[in-house]
A and B are shown apart, each in its own frame.
Chain A
Amino acid sequence: AQSVTQLGSHVSVSEGALVLLRCNYSSSVPPYLFWYVQYPNQGLQLLLKYTTGATLVKGINGFEAEFKKSETSFHLTKPSAHMSDAAEYFCAVSEDDYKLSFGAGTTVTVRA
């Protein structure tokens, strides 16, 4: 069975600073990994995903994540935070059965 751990339930960054959200997973098979964003009072939107191939994945809105098998990690980064990045971010993993297991989520606030 797969599981996801997101380190830090809340991250506060200054506008223009690096955003780093940590995600570690456990999986019995090569996983598929996802980052979703949820803006206030909205549904989930996919930021990026890793399936196979290149371990550095680029997504929308300037986000990217790197799959590190040896560390069982899939951390999300953005070089320069924008006020519009304030949201909740979820890391998720799935195996062969299409079901997504989500981490607890990380709330990002951006300081002007």
Chain B
Amino acid sequence: SAVISQKPSRDICQRGTSLTIQCQVDSQVTMMFWYRQQPGQSLTLIATANQGSEATYESGFVIDKFPISRPNLTFSTLTVSNMSPEDSSIYLCSVLLLSGRASDTQYFGPGTRLTVL
């Protein structure tokens, strides 16, 4: 398994500002993902964070709004830019361990609860 921490755990932000969320894993992992969980809804994949290259975004998500970095195999950041109240969500990172098979388990961080006023 993997132990995943996220910072901050929650934040309240003003519209038009940006927030960077950090995801730290206690071991090297093959893949890292960022998900969004809007209030009362399920999880939606935002992007795959690629180590040393640009993230791969899902339909409906763009780099200008959600820039992602992954400088090494244990750390990634997601920035929510120019925030609006519609960005109020829980943001979760998840990881796949080094065997990299699709059947491997994704482990999830505790999430960052963001409220935009």
A interface list, Cβ under 8 A from B: 32, 34, 36, 41-46, 49, 51-52, 90, 94-105
Contact = CB atoms under 8 A, between A and B. Distances in A.
Contacts of A101: 45
A100 B103 contact: no
A90 B45 contact: no
Contact of A42 (B4, B103, B110): B110
Interface of B: 4, 31, 33, 41-45, 48, 58, 92, 94, 96, 100, 102-111, 113
A42 B113 CA distance: 10
Chain A residues touching B, majority SS: loop
A96 B103 CA distance: 8
Contacts of A95: 102
Given A44-B108, A96-B102, A90 B43 contact: yes
B103 A32 contact: yes
Contacts of B41: 104-105
Contacts of B44: 102
Given A34-B105, A98-B104, 13 more contacts: A42-B110, A44-B94, A45-B108, A46-B107, A49-B103, A49-B105, A90-B42, A94-B102, A98-B96, A98-B102, A100-B43, A103-B42, A104-B41
A76 to B, nearest CB: 16
B108 A104 contact: no
Contacts of B92: 43-44
Contacts of B110: 42-43
A43 B103 contact: no
Contacts of A100: 33, 43, 45, 94, 106
18 contacts: A32-B102, A32-B103, A34-B105, A42-B111, A43-B109, A43-B110, A49-B103, A49-B105, A51-B103, A52-B103, A90-B42, A94-B102, A95-B102, A98-B102, A99-B33, A99-B58, A100-B45, A105-B41
A103 B96 CA distance: 20
